[in-house]
Amino acid sequence: MPLWRLLVSMTPQQLVDVADLCYLSDALNRDEAIGILGAQEPTRQARIAELERRGGYPCYPTSAG
């Protein structure tokens, strides 16, 4: 499963539970993060459909040396 697919399958609560927000705690708490993610719910399926149409998020290969 691609990472983007795993992330979009999670609820806002699940996503915030696994995200390390400690470096943001002065500006964003858990409830605020859940609120921001929850506000995006109405457009979630459209964004997933767009990602599926494009084949997911673009990436780039890297190699040493």
Gyration radius from the chain CA atoms: 15
Q: Is the pLDDT of residue 30 over 80?
A: yes
Q: How confident is the model at residue 38 (pLDDT cuts 50, 70, 90)?
A: very high
The domain locations on the chain are 3-53
Mean pLDDT across 36-40: 95
pTM of this structure: 0.73
> In whole numbers, what is the pLDDT of the chain averaged over residues?
88
